[in-house]
Structure 1
Amino acid sequence: MTDYAPDPALLARAETLVEALPYLQRYAGATFVVKYGGHAMGDADAAEDFAEDVVLLKAVGINPIVVHGGGPQIGAALKAQGIESRFVDGLRVTDAATMKVAEMVLSGQINKEIVSWIAAEGGRAVGISGKDGHLVTATKVRSEHDLGFVGEPDDVDTRLLDTLSTAGMIPVVAPVGVGADGQTYNINADTMAGAIAIATGAERLFLLTDVPGVLDKDKRLLSDLTPPKIADLKRDGTIYGGMIPKLQTCIDAVQGGVDAAVILDGRVPHAMLIEIFTKAGAGTLVRRG
């Protein structure tokens, strides 16, 4: 018999690992698509936490695919060049000049920043856009207002993503696609992530943003939703504004075969790990029912 008593902090860490064990077993070999929103890229600490989480997922046998946004950064770049930003139903009207800036910011600046964050944490990431390897073929969004070069995924060819993941790489995807005629399109990052999640048969879709998830009218987090419940909450005004298209992406994903989609606050340290590997969860999970 020993008198050794482990440090309570070390014991707590060990218990955390034990709690995570069934989830590690369940998700081994699974694909997770993670949309990292422009508003969630708040500061250096948040970026470091996000990169650590993604590298850890890869290390434990999960295949993460990162799809990033960049709306605030595009807006700042357009303002710096004296180009006015206009929006219709939450989508940026994208003329030729705006498209050029958007692609520069998304595929150049932000994409490579995220790759460098992951590399700094010991991961191996490759930055691509939907234009690479015919990953995402896009068509122009249909709207009563002309949105210019705003597109939506028409076809997703997963071969490049499969090749990178099998080689131990973490794909980091900018939400830019190309039409059958070679035209470049700006695609909403949530929509892009949802389409990739469906095409890859992902187990989980995570939408990391700057809100805790879906809140009820008393500002309490709703942790578990289904499409019928979401329809009820839209009718009574609980869900409104920018949360509606995010939840539609979640609904499309789970109805397209993704096991569950989750809206999380990307500013909260390690929120994604809490959601995946603990019973408590950290955001709003949407499942088929």
Structure 2
Amino acid sequence: MTDNTKNHSPDPVDLEKVETLIEALPYLRKYAGKTFVVKYGGHAMGESHLAAAFAKDIVLLKKVGIHPVVVHGGGPQIGKMLERLGIRSNFIDGLRVTDAETAAIAEMVLAGSINKEVVHHINRAGGTAVGLSGKDANLVTARKVTRTKRDPDSNIERILDLGFVGEPDVVDVSVLDMFRQSNVIPVIAPIGVDAEGNTYNINADTMAGAIAGALKAARLFLLTDVPGVLDKEKNLLTDLTPQKIDGLIADGTIQGGMIPKIETCIDALKKGVDAAVILNGRVPHSMLLEIFTRRGAGTLVRRS
């Protein structure tokens, strides 16, 4: 007698999908109803396939009950526009010295073309995104950034004028609370205004950290161009606390441009954010890997 029974063994690919869902389920439950603030920038913004993948990730978060708030950068795009216009930029400690003309161009690029491009990608991926800047609904009232520099010869400190470079002073999240009760995903350009009506360009990491703190977000994500914080052998450090960070800065492991990012994470923790993550935005779906898998994908900074 012929056995006509077919082989109904599960497809390995299907099994892998099911196992992924099983692994993600506890995290879906943990973060349902929570707020994530995501700083989006770097090379990931300029590459269409990465921008599309990022947009899909943000839409997925909203669909599963997490409330994402996107804060984007745009330094390279501002630089290109200034170059096209023949305006030379000077930098102090990584911050662009910004006169009134440069501030107007920064606002045009950040709150205009870049903001609408990010909104477009999210809407195209099936979300409902709305573009804002810190000026809208009094979201971010800024104050002027000041820097001091000590003269190595005279040992005298002098104040450096960065022009219209600001930092968040007051964050009013009323409008974001309204969006939280809807299907709207806010996309925020790092522009603020002071009490006198002056417009300021704000570092996107700093802006995201301040908004995350005001929202008491469950997570602050800083998407960068590197995997996260690396040790001296270039291995990824996946779990850090402020105490560990102090030692890593002291021995030179954390240096350069990573220091202000780490400081942003620590400041966000002090303001009530549960944890912050620095990860590589050039890796597709890195944020989802960090959130929904045991291994993670970046450097997690937590209180203790």
Give the TM-score of the pair, scaled to structure 1: 0.98
Deviation at 1:3, TM superposition (A): 5.1
Q: How does 1:19-168 map to 2 (within 5 A)?
A: 19-143=23-147, 144-168=159-183
Q: State the AA in 2 paired with 1:70.
A: G
Give deviations 1:237-264, integer Å, cap 9, x for gaps. 1111100000000000112111100001
* Aligned position for 2:250: 235
Following the alignment from structure 1 to structure 2, what is the Cα–Cα distance between the partners of residues 255 and 98? 33
Q: Is the 8 A contact 1:204 1:258 kept in 2?
A: yes
* Aligned position for 1:279: 294
* Aligned position for 1:196: 211
- Local SS of the residue matching 2:46: coil
Deviation at 1:40, TM superposition (A): 3.0
Q: Is the 8 A contact 1:38 1:68 kept in 2?
A: no
Following the alignment from structure 1 to structure 2, what is the Cα–Cα distance between the partners of residues 37 and 232? 28
Deviation at 1:2, TM superposition (A): 9.1
Which of 226, 238, 242 is the equivalent residue of 1:211? 226
Deviation at 1:4, TM superposition (A): 2.0
Gaps in structure 2 of 5+ consecutive residues: 148-158
Give deviations 1:23-71, integer Å, cap 9, x for gaps. 0000000000000023331311110110010000000000000000000
Deviation at 1:165, TM superposition (A): 2.3
* Aligned position for 1:7: 11
Count of aligned pairs between the two proteins: 289
Deviation at 1:162, TM superposition (A): 1.1
* Aligned position for 1:252: 267
Following the alignment from structure 1 to structure 2, what is the Cα–Cα distance between the partners of residues 25 and 169? 21
Following the alignment from structure 1 to structure 2, what is the Cα–Cα distance between the partners of residues 124 and 254? 29
Following the alignment from structure 2 to structure 1, what is the Cα–Cα distance between the partners of residues 178 and 87? 39
When structure 1 is superposed on structure 2, of 252-261 and 39-48 the one drifting more is 39-48
Q: Is the 8 A contact 2:42 2:281 kept in 1?
A: no
Q: State the AA in 2 paired with 1:207.
A: L
Gaps in structure 1 of 5+ consecutive residues: none
Q: State the AA in 1 paired with 2:52.
A: E
- Local SS of the residue matching 2:54: helix
The reply on whether 1:184 has 2:189 as its aligned counterpart is: no
Q: Is the 8 A contact 1:165 1:171 kept in 2?
A: no
Following the alignment from structure 1 to structure 2, what is the Cα–Cα distance between the partners of residues 280 and 2? 38
Following the alignment from structure 2 to structure 1, what is the Cα–Cα distance between the partners of residues 239 and 173? 30
Identity %: 67
CA RMSD of aligned residues (A): 1.1
Q: State the AA in 1 paired with 2:23.
A: E
Give the TM-score of the pair, scaled to structure 2: 0.93
